[in-house]
Amino acid sequence: MDELHGPDDEHRRPPGVGDETVEALGSLSKALETVERARGHLYSFHQLTGTADLELDRAVALLRTAGHDTWADRVETEILGRNVIPGHWTFQLVEAYDGTYYRAFRQLEHEAVQQLAQGRDHLYEAEMKEGRRTRGHPDHTARPETPGTRDPSAPFD
């Protein structure tokens, strides 16, 4: 691999790290990325549910203004502030997810990368990038250019 044009040291496979280990760490990382997305959806659920609950204040006021006090009372007592599952509002679901699953998953993935790959993240992706990029093409460089080091009118390297 070209030392000047290949990946930086942080994205080079350490000596003794085999293909299976790189692939396994890539899979573990992909699983964590999926968990990150799931966590984001959980926060979306939390915020959307909270927004809906706050909008009920307006619905109750409008129902009262329209002379529908019985319906306003029902919305106020049956839905407004209601638990989303027994004993839980959405913030408690987020806290339980983080404490029970998310933090443990992140910690395990971090420890695996530290112990099995000397702390080098994204080795699988870095090697995929090396295999897929077009050598010499200015938009397929191995690493970010230092500002001011590349003349955009210069030919491919």
- Ordered by start, the domain boundaries in the chain are 18-129
- Side chain identity, residue 12: R
The pLDDT of residue 157 is 47
Q: What is the pLDDT of residues 25-72, one digit of tens each?
A: 999 999 999 999 999 999 999 999 999 999 999 999 999 999 999 999
Interhelix angle 19-65/123-132, rounded to 10 degrees, is 100
d(CA 43, CA 38): 9
- Side chain identity, residue 136: G
Q: Which structure tokens are listed for 50? A: 């909270």
Q: Is-contact 6 142, C-beta < 8 A?
A: yes
d(CA 64, CA 56): 12
Residue 148 confidence (pLDDT) above 70: no
> Considering the chain, what is the average pLDDT of its residues?
90
Cα dihedral 61, 66, 68, 69, rounded to 10, equals 40
Q: What is the pLDDT of residues 12-27, one digit of tens each?
A: 999 999 999 999 999 9
Q: Which structure tokens are listed for 114? A: 């530290």
Q: Is-contact 117 21, C-beta < 8 A?
A: yes
Tell me the Cα Rg of the chain.
26
| pTM exceeding 0.85 | no
Q: Which structure tokens are listed for 95? A: 């806290």
- Side chain identity, residue 22: V
What pLDDT band is residue 2 in, cutting at 50, 70 and 90?
very low
Residue 139 confidence (pLDDT) above 80: yes
What pLDDT band is residue 142 in, cutting at 50, 70 and 90?
confident
The pLDDT of residue 152 is 55
What pLDDT band is residue 6 in, cutting at 50, 70 and 90?
confident
The pLDDT of residue 154 is 53
